[in-house]
Amino acid sequence: MCGIVAYIGPREAYPIILKGLKRLEYRGYDSSGVALLNKDLRVYKKKGKVSELEDSLVGKDLHAHAGMGHTRWATHGEPNDRNAHPHHSASGRLAMIHNGIIENYTQLKQELMRKGYHFNSDTDTEVLLNFIEDIQKNNNCGLEEAVRIALRRVVGAYVIVLLDKDMPDTVIAARKGSPLVIGIGKGEHFLASDASPIIEYTKEVVYVNDYELAILKADELILKNLGNEKITPFVQKLDLEMAAIEKGGYDHFMLKEIFEQPDTIFDCLRGRLDATKGTIRMAGIQQNIQQLTQAKRIIMIACGTSWHAGLIAEYIFEELCRIPVEVEYASEFRYRNPVIHPGDVIIAISQSGETADTIVAIEKAKESGAFILGVVNVVGSSIARISHAGAYTHAGPEIGVASTKAFTAQLAVLTMIALKIAHEKGTIDTTRYMQLLGELHSVPEKVKEVLKLSESIRGLAQKYKDAKDALYLGRGYNFAVALEGALKLKEISYIHAEGYPAAEMKHGPIALVDEQLPVVFVATKDSYHEKIVSNIQEIKARKGRVIAVISHGDSIIENMAEDCMRIPETDEIIAPMLSVIPLQLLAYYIGAVKGYDVDKPRNLAKSVTVE
């Protein structure tokens, strides 16, 4: 859950690395650091944000044509200067940065301490680095071979990048379980955790696979496996523009990404859905349609916001496809002994495609004979490569830590998959099928209407910013929207919030209701409408402060609620793509008005690439 960037070539390395760290800061921001290799190996690091590192380096010798940088989200050892990366080896000859967790670092550390090694940090990274140096010293081998030997012994996940003072023309990197991409320039190479630091310089990239070692010089890239066999790099073209990773005049990436949703949903549907002809074209689905239509069971595996998308999709798939669906937290699924049968379909949902728990969960299911379908945003990501088939969401880079546009894009993709399967199976009649295609096609325009609520929701944020707690309630398709709304408020404003099925509040949460508690109802017009009206009356009777997301023209709830956020009327299956957006805006504006860094909420990182 850290950001890594490195460079080797004719340019000055430090400005490239610094800019890359700023673009990767959403991946980790407890501390940051750089290592620069010229005639000597200089390491500078600092607790706090990248700007604090930058300020501390004014007047320092930063000249180098090879270097690397790191933004850290702490796993081993608290955030401070000495635990920040890069780390020096005991001799000072090597420096290393690392993303991941070395699970057997305690055992390795004890072995090294018995040999007389002392450690300057609390990190597993420094242990691994000294283990590599110890192997090199005792086996009289080169750094490349020492890395290979060490990684055969290591248990855990890692991306490591190393510089050697005695090899000023070389950068060495390796990967298992965490993302790493190499950018190929003219007489230069770039390394990063994702493409955002690279896109300014080149669109030609190589995604490094697990158990691969990269040896980089300015004019040469060598890929090898841990058996020392050379691998031909697979060069891909980035489909990414600079504007996608810049704020574009918005105060925060999160607000920009909320407002991008008409375009991102349109891009998700474009070329796939033709509402006039009644067709859905998704190559990964069509090529495996028999596997999907004949599935006895679908299991959706995800974490966080993606899990909420899975919960909504569960209702959609069961309603339209008549296939039993289970939705699992990947972090729980991977440690259970689940019953998986050959022919079960596992749908893995992840924005980054690098979520560690989800990757391990689908690898486990794959071994049991399940068919793996990936729904991810990042092209070339681990889940995309592990899956048998899948669909990209085409939401573009999501920089804000709290997911917004990725969520609605996931819903759009999952809805199209469900409609495709249902149509092929004949579990939905033509009239209903065409109606839903039309409703889905109209979502981007309706999202534009919802976004017009922005200023009024900013006013609500001022009104409710001092709340200590909040309760979010919904039923049916909107139940998981309530969960997502509560999660957003927690992430961005640090207000304690709980999401619940509206009918379940009588089984406990209603005890919290008083004159101070905001209760947010996701109450669009659907088959649950009368029931949720009753739930609102129960809150009103206990003097709770009701805020409601409602459909246009709903005078019943409008007359009951203290505040309303109105969205265009649509089918209940499609409604979550609209009803979630006012909740995203509410969380954003409350966090912003409280003065928080909404793009980088405390203790959170964008891509959870470790357990």
Tell me which residues are annotated as active site.
2, 606
Contact (Cβ atoms closer than 8 angstroms) between residue 376 and residue 382: no
Q: Characterize 438-476 residue by residue with b for buried, 16 or more Cβ atoms within 10 angstroms of its Cβ, and e for exposed.
A: ebbbebbebbeebbebbeebbebbeebbebeebbbbbbb
Contact (Cβ atoms closer than 8 angstroms) between residue 216 and residue 173: yes
The β-bridge relationship of strands 94-102 and 87-88 is antiparallel
Report the alpha-carbon distance of residue 399 to residue 396 in Å, rounded: 9
Q: Where are the beta strands (DSSP E) in 552-602?
A: 563-567
Report the alpha-carbon distance of residue 322 to residue 258 in Å, rounded: 33
Contact (Cβ atoms closer than 8 angstroms) between residue 481 and residue 522: yes
Contact (Cβ atoms closer than 8 angstroms) between residue 132 and residue 112: no
Q: Which amino acid is at 93?
A: R
Report the alpha-carbon distance of residue 234 to residue 58 in Å, rounded: 40
Contact (Cβ atoms closer than 8 angstroms) between residue 178 and residue 354: yes
Contact (Cβ atoms closer than 8 angstroms) between residue 102 and residue 141: no
Q: Which residues pair with 548 in a beta bridge?
A: 521, 564
Q: Which letter does DSSP use for residue 395 in this model?
A: -
Residue 547 tokens read as 């805020």
Q: Which amino acid is at 419?
A: L
Report the alpha-carbon distance of residue 588 to residue 596 in Å, rounded: 10
Contact (Cβ atoms closer than 8 angstroms) between residue 532 and residue 504: no
Q: Which residues pair with 327 in a beta bridge?
A: 300
Q: DSSP 3-state assignment of 57?
A: coil
Q: DSSP 3-state assignment of 588?
A: helix
DSSP for 262-302 reads HHHHHHHHTTTEETTTTEE--HHHHTTHHHHHT-S-EEEEE
Give the helix/strand (H/E) hosting 159: strand 156-164
Q: DSSP 3-state assignment of 577?
A: helix
User: Of 161, 132, 160, which Cα lies nearest the Cα of 37?
Assistant: 161
User: Of 312, 287, 286, which Cα lies nearest the Cα of 300?
Assistant: 312
Contact (Cβ atoms closer than 8 angstroms) between residue 572 and residue 526: yes
Question: CA angle, corner 605, sides to 85 and 28, nearest 5?
Answer: 25
Contact (Cβ atoms closer than 8 angstroms) between residue 483 and residue 465: no
